Amino acid sequence: MYQQHLENILTYMNERYPEELEKSRRWFIEQCGEVYEGDEFFEERISNQLDWFAFDWRNAAGEIPIRVYMNEKAESLTSEDRESLERMCNPIHSIFEVKKIAPKKNMLVLFDLVNRRKYEVFERRMLHGIDKKNIFEARLIANGEQFIMMNAFVMHPSAAGKFIKKRIKCMVKEGVKNFKPLMLMLQKMWVHRYRYTKVDLKLIYSDKFMDEYFHGVKLPPNQPTTVEE
């Protein structure tokens, strides 16, 4: 359901506002690194770029594409559509650790490393390679008492887990409210791990890398001045 809504939104925005989609593409590449069709992770990066566009990109009026779609297609949307799209406007976008995998129940139990909460996630996909203690960035959308995970997510290597947890803990202690810049920085590291396969992962996922590049991370334009908790 949510994924179909996302596809409809992206199709609509590409037809009506292709310049916004192109600007968001250039912004994403600038933050996280260039991607090429021959890359083994090409489709993953495109999916992530499109999710950042749909959920985080804002036009001059400060509206995300989901809200633009809702407003401009209001007459053709059912009440059920509007409820689902409203939930999509406020996903839980964070960095999670896998605590439990229950394939017979189509369920994952994820722990939000930022907000220190557990979520039961309904998941029908066979997520090959996912195991307990894996850490990844994802967006969760409420679906009754459970949550649905959007298709695009960024699975970080196991060797990076200690660094990521330590970095989040320090930022929480410092009172940081917005962790999206960190997510973008970790995505840059994720790309580097594929670009520089002979470099030790601990040198890529490191404080030195953060110190050298973190200051250059920029969120999409027209962001709200306050961050909702």
Q: Residue 54 sits in which domain range?
A: 2-88
What is the domain count for the chain? Answer: 3
Examine the domain organization and report whether 57 and 120 are in the same domain: no
Cα–Cα distances (Å) from 9 to 13, 93, 125, 142, 212, in that order, read 6, 19, 22, 19, 36
* Domain-embedded: residue 127: yes
* Domain-embedded: residue 211: yes
Phi/psi at 25 (5° precision) = -65, -45
Specify the pLDDT at position 183: 97
* Domain-embedded: residue 223: no
Examine the domain organization and report whether 52 and 39 are in the same domain: yes
Among candidate residues 41, 63, 88, the one where a domain is terminated = 88
Examine the domain organization and report whether 148 and 135 are in the same domain: yes
Asked if 109 and 149 count as a contact pair (C-beta separation under 8 A), the reply is: no
Examine the domain organization and report whether 146 and 199 are in the same domain: no
Dist CA 27 CA 22 (whole Å): 9
* Domain-embedded: residue 228: no
Closest to 134 in 3D by CA, of 163, 156, 112: 156
Specify the pLDDT at position 229: 43
Among candidate residues 63, 88, 113, the one where a domain is terminated = 88
CB < 8 Å & 24+ apart, contacts of 221-226: 221/27, 221/58, 222/58, 222/59, 222/60, 222/61, 222/62, 223/58, 224/62
| pTM confidence score | 0.92
Count of beta carbons in the 10 Å neighbourhood of residue 126:
7
Specify the pLDDT at position 227: 53
* Domain-embedded: residue 62: yes
pLDDT in tens, 26-54: 999 999 988 888 888 899 999 999 999 99
Dist CA 88 CA 190 (whole Å): 26
Local confidence pLDDT in tens for the 229 residues of the chain = 889 999 999 999 999 999 999 999 999 999 998 888 888 889 999 999 999 999 999 999 999 999 999 999 999 999 999 999 999 999 999 999 999 988 788 889 999 999 999 999 987 766 666 789 999 999 999 988 889 999 899 999 999 999 999 999 999 999 999 999 999 999 999 999 988 989 999 999 999 999 988 888 999 999 886 554 4
Specify the pLDDT at position 220: 93
* Domain-embedded: residue 193: yes
